[in-house]
Structure 1
Amino acid sequence: MSGPAPVDAAPDVVCLGESMVTFLPSLPGRLADVPSFTRAIGGAESNVACSLAAAGHRVRWVGRVGRDGFGDHLVDTIGGHGVDVTAVGRDPHRPTGVYFRTDEDRATDAHEVVYYRAGSAASAMSPATVPYDSVAGARILHVTGITAALSADCLALMRELTAPRPGRPLVSFDVNHRPGLWRDGSAPSVLLDLARRADVVFVGADEAERLWGVGDPAAIRAVLAEPAVLVVKRGAEGAVAFERCGVGKEAPRSGPAPAPGTDSASGHGPAPDTRSAPRSGPATDTDTVTRTPAPRVTVVSPVGAGDAFAAGFLSATLRGLGMTARLRHGHLVAAAVLTVPGDLAAPPRRGHADRLAALDDAAWGTLHLGPGWTGDDQEVRTP
């Protein structure tokens, strides 16, 4: 695995969204009973950025923070992960957002999270405060539905970034539905519209059921026919990818392209064309459907796994790997986060992950990943 490239190089991926200082509980249980907290960082898009940078890709995080100590901490910490933070705005009038959470799975009733983000610097992101130049030139732009919920200005920015235009980066969109952020009932229609504008969409089957009343992967694809690639996450059961046949073969590039036949991060393997042409209307071609079970994981903390899955999938996409490998790399990077206490974890080294992703179906089905598995010298357990 190669280290992050210099920040003056054109990024492979731009991740745009709010990052906050998060306070993690020292003990399990209700927030009312937790005696102390440890400071960390949290933010779906910056989590993806840090994971991709750790995997050797050129990554830029675009966001806004306050001109305060918490903002300094965020910029320094994310930059310390090898992410280009030169496009982060500093707002002298609005604070950096913070939040407190418990350690339980978000899908359970025991999970608690308290946000102090109303009026945050990030909520002032808009087409006026975030120049399009900050994302132009990237091969992939990764965004999530969280940003659209922060303010009307943030939603306007999301609509501008996902609008079809010549030379637009491939848009990766994680639905990331956070019910507590949507008070007006607009989430189903807004998130559906944004997802339909994207090229690659990640959505949990449980999210789709809450939002649109469909939980079966094929039914979700019928609702989201437009994206070239749709990944439906099914938790411990694995993931299903729908890929439109023939997608990307005629997609134009704008700006400099990597050298033919090279991976921009590693110098090896094919470099696929990840730029999208303007599109309209639903998909009419036949999909290729790929189903990949998740390995068994000894879970330490469930938070951050969805972001890690997206990072692993996008890393494999940048490397030109096949769909099964993309899904397996998503599962492996998610497993790295699931087996540590925080939202971020060092991904497995590229060679180690490639060896596991290349296992035959029978061997893949026996994987059991626990704490410490990402080290090359660690034994991966099988039954």
Structure 2
Amino acid sequence: MGIEEPGAPEVLCVGETMAVLMPGEPGPAHRVRAWTRTVGGAESNVACHLAGLGVRSAWLSAVGDDAFGRAVVDAVRAAGVDVRGVRVDPLRPTGLYVKESAVSGSRVRYYRRGSAAAALGPEVLDGVDLAGVRLVHVTGITAALSDSCLRLLRALLGPRRHLVSFDVNWRPALWADEHAADRGLDPAEVLRDLADAADVVLVGADEAERVWGTADPDALRALLPHPRTVVVKRDAEGATLIEGGATVFEPSLRVDVVEPIGAGDAFAAGFLAATLAGHDARRRLRAGHLRAAATLLTRHDVGEPLPEATVTRLLSCDERTWAAARITLDGALR
């Protein structure tokens, strides 16, 4: 039996997703002979998490007419995401990235220059029905891929009826790439302009420090005066939300971390789902932390959700209970 396409999406996520190779055995990458193939990409990760949270989501992108492209589309569709807007490029390949394990942590290598998604431009929006879409989610990764991808982001951030969330997702390797450098762009300026045109901005404190020279929430709000909401994430410490005249900080959950890759996308999805549901600032931040916690427990970009009872309890618990909570490797609450 085939997988039915979901109904009209509430959220449209736009950006590249690649095949991912992860070591299938221990040891340095040059000695590993067995690899596990999965898929991953910031925007489709968010779409998959949103679908898991009951939010109808769609993913707009391009893949190559190859086995990796078919694997990518199949995986995102299997998560309940609408993939009808994905184009198949007969000339360009699907992007690839490789996770290399090391004692000091995981390292990622990208093989995505000239990929199908890097050729995306504003014309991909022709025929895309945005009438029922409440939110479009994009990231700064797309801006680094090509001039046409940057034009696509600017088109999505132009005059619109829908909200736009922008996750900075700083990728220095992409901006340092010879092709990106040849474009003569200042990454800090490009990312600031894109972020300031969005309605919701998500940025890690470490990213903000590297890109704009500050991680202070008030300084970032001054740098980005136009978004309705700015969220500054401090990994294991917590996240600060700035909205209107209010500033709210919510600490992260303590988690037995397996791997941090993908946690930012999970946080974004949890936060955005709670935002669309109309929840208050603290509950939105907790929803982000809870989704991130589930991904921290796995080596995959989109992990299994935490038990529903755990999520329900922690979303509405008092501050003392939240601060004392710990999520173990088996997803249990301690």
> Normalization by structure 2: what TM-score?
0.92
> Normalization by structure 1: what TM-score?
0.81
> Distance between the aligned counterparts of 1:319 and 1:33, measured in 2?
48
DSSP 3-state at the match of 2:231: strand
> Distance between the aligned counterparts of 1:232 and 1:63, measured in 2?
27
Aligned residues: 325
Structure 2 counterpart of 1:243: 243
Alpha-carbon contact 1:52-1:59 (below 8 Å) kept: yes
> Distance between the aligned counterparts of 2:307 and 2:126, measured in 1?
35
Matched, 1:295 2:288: no
Matched, 1:70 2:68: yes
> Distance between the aligned counterparts of 1:335 and 1:187, measured in 2?
30
Structure 2 counterpart of 1:179: 172
- Going from structure 1 to structure 2, the CA distance change for 1:141 and 1:351 (only over 3 Å counts) comes to farther
DSSP 3-state at the match of 1:291: strand
Alpha-carbon contact 1:103-1:301 (below 8 Å) kept: no
Q: Which runs of 5+ in 2 are unaligned?
A: none
- Residue type matched to 1:358 in 2? S
Map of 1:229-308 to 2, 5 A cutoff?
229-244=229-244, 287-308=245-266
Pick one of 41, 44, 48 that aligns with 2:42: 44
Cα deviation code 1:264-290 (max 9, x no counterpart) = xxxxxxxxxxxxxxxxxxxxxxx2111
- Residue type matched to 1:177 in 2? W
Structure 2 counterpart of 1:260: none
Structure 2 counterpart of 1:217: 217
Structure 2 counterpart of 1:150: 145
When structure 1 is superposed on structure 2, of 124-133 and 228-237 the one drifting more is: 124-133
1:29 is displaced (CA, Å) by 5.3
> Distance between the aligned counterparts of 2:110 and 2:316, measured in 1?
41
Map of 1:1-383 to 2, 5 A cutoff?
7=5, 9-27=7-25, 30-103=28-101, 111-131=106-126, 133-165=128-160, 167=161, 169-183=162-176, 184=181, 186-244=186-244, 287-348=245-306, 350=308, 352-373=310-331, 378=332, 380-381=333-334
> Distance between the aligned counterparts of 1:365 and 1:319, measured in 2?
24
Q: Which runs of 5+ in 1 are unaligned?
A: 245-286
CA-based RMSD of the aligned residues comes to: 1.9
- Residue type matched to 2:73 in 1? V
- Residue type matched to 1:171 in 2? V
> Distance between the aligned counterparts of 1:205 and 1:349, measured in 2?
29
1:128 is displaced (CA, Å) by 1.7
- Residue type matched to 1:293 in 2? P
Would you tell me which structure has more helix in proportion to its own residues? 2
Cα deviation code 1:269-328 (max 9, x no counterpart) = xxxxxxxxxxxxxxxxxx211100001110011110000000100111121111100000
- Going from structure 1 to structure 2, the CA distance change for 1:207 and 1:28 (only over 3 Å counts) comes to farther
- Going from structure 1 to structure 2, the CA distance change for 1:137 and 1:317 (only over 3 Å counts) comes to same
1:95 is displaced (CA, Å) by 0.7
- Residue type matched to 1:130 in 2? L
> Distance between the aligned counterparts of 2:27 and 2:125, measured in 1?
39
Higher RCO structure (Cα 8 Å, ≥6 apart): 1
> Distance between the aligned counterparts of 1:139 and 1:187, measured in 2?
28
1:348 is displaced (CA, Å) by 2.9
- Going from structure 1 to structure 2, the CA distance change for 1:30 and 1:7 (only over 3 Å counts) comes to same
- Residue type matched to 1:354 in 2? T
- Residue type matched to 1:213 in 2? G
- Residue type matched to 2:164 in 1? V
> Distance between the aligned counterparts of 1:134 and 1:31, measured in 2?
44
- Going from structure 1 to structure 2, the CA distance change for 1:118 and 1:56 (only over 3 Å counts) comes to same
- Residue type matched to 1:81 in 2? A
DSSP 3-state at the match of 1:149: helix
> Distance between the aligned counterparts of 1:191 and 1:325, measured in 2?
28
Identity of aligned residues (%): 49
